[in-house]
Amino acid sequence: MLNTIIIEDEKNARQGLIDSLANIDANVNVVAQLCTVRESIEYFKTAPQADLIFCDVQLEDGLSFEIFSKVEIRTPVIFITGYDQFVMNAFEYNGIDYLLKPVSEDELQKAIIKYRKLEKHFSNQPSLNNLVQYVNTRKKTRLIVKKGLENISLRLEDIILFFTENKIVYVVDKWSKKYLVDRNLGELEEDLDDNIFFRANRQYIININYIKGFKSYEKVKLQVDLIIPELNYCIIISQETAPAFRKWMHEA
């Protein structure tokens, strides 16, 4: 039995997907139907996860990518949407396939076959327990950030730094634009590629590609200079962290 979860806010589209899955494979079992980002986050916090998720990208209260950035979901996802602009984002959030509406039963069947092939492949790999581990160990290349009421997909390579101020975490991109992110620096640090991002101190995480250099500060500390001086952030590396920072810079 293939236990699935459907995240779709349009009633007709949701029912059409359920009917199509039933026609394709009698062994597909829909264990939950979710309609919003908020409902999905609450569901995944407490409910057991399924084998596969079918997920619309644009829900009534935001982009579904926000679900996967806020809750650890160890389940592969087939994203379904009416727009192709989100295709690259999908593969950063457990996505194994991306289908454009209206989805035909033939396309849906191919997506399920793809899932089963991947599952079979990884189940035979001694170094990987299963497909779930595969889709969750890839480093993300995008991050969902907020600007007012808008959710924006920002490429990590365009981010200069993350910093916290008054318990709020901000993101600054290479155009000096500032956004909010609903995660603390510790959580972000776990997901970021440590070859590119470094936790400078309790306040900052910095991107090596935007570091101009560093110099001594108060004899035992280091001060980092960014290639965009207009940002005017004073980033200080402590005496304890300085050796690790030097090593990180030299091995980049």
Residues 130 and 146 both lie in one domain = no
pLDDT recorded at residue 127: 39
Measured CA to CA, the distance from residue 165 to residue 145 in angstroms comes to: 16
Residue 147 and residue 66 share a domain: no
Which tens digit of pLDDT belongs to each residue from 118-127?
Answer: 877 555 544 3
Instruction: With cut-offs at 50, 70 and 90, classify the pLDDT of residue 160.
Output: very high
Per-residue pLDDT for 128 more than 50?
no
Query: In sequence order, what are the residues at sequence separation of 6 or more whose Cβ sits closer than 8 angstroms to the Cβ of residue 162?
Result: 169, 170, 171, 172, 181, 185, 188, 204, 205
Cβ atoms 205, 197 nearer than 8 A: yes
Q: Say yes or no: 196 and 88 in one domain.
A: no
Query: Quick one: how far is CA 240 from the chain centroid?
Result: 31
Whole-structure pTM value: 0.55
Verify that 133 and 211 share a domain, yes or no.
Answer: no
User: 11-24 vs 105-123: helix axis angle to the nearest 10?
Assistant: 60
Q: 222-246: per-residue pLDDT in tens?
A: 999 999 877 788 999 999 999 999 9
**Is 90 exceeded by the pLDDT of residue 10?**
yes
Q: Take residue 159 and report the two structure tokens written for it.
A: 């981010």
Residues spanned by the domain of 188: 142-250
- 29 φ/ψ angles, rounded to the nearest 5 degrees: -120, 120
What residue type is 246 in one-letter code? R
Strand partners, 62: 59
- Examine the domain organization and report whether 15 and 133 are in the same domain: yes
The residue out of 137, 167, 183 marking a domain boundary is 137
pLDDT digits (tens, 9 = 90+) for 82-125: 766 666 566 666 788 888 888 899 999 999 988 888 877 555 54
Domain boundary among 86, 102, 137: 137
The CATH number of whichever domain residue 98 belongs to comes to: 3.40.50.2300
pLDDT average, residue stretch 24-29? 89
For residues 169 and 90, state if they share a domain. no
The DSSP string of 103-172 is: PPHHHHHHHHHHHHHHHHHHHT-TT---HHHHHHHSPPSEEEEEETTEEEEEEGGGEEEEEEETTEEEEE
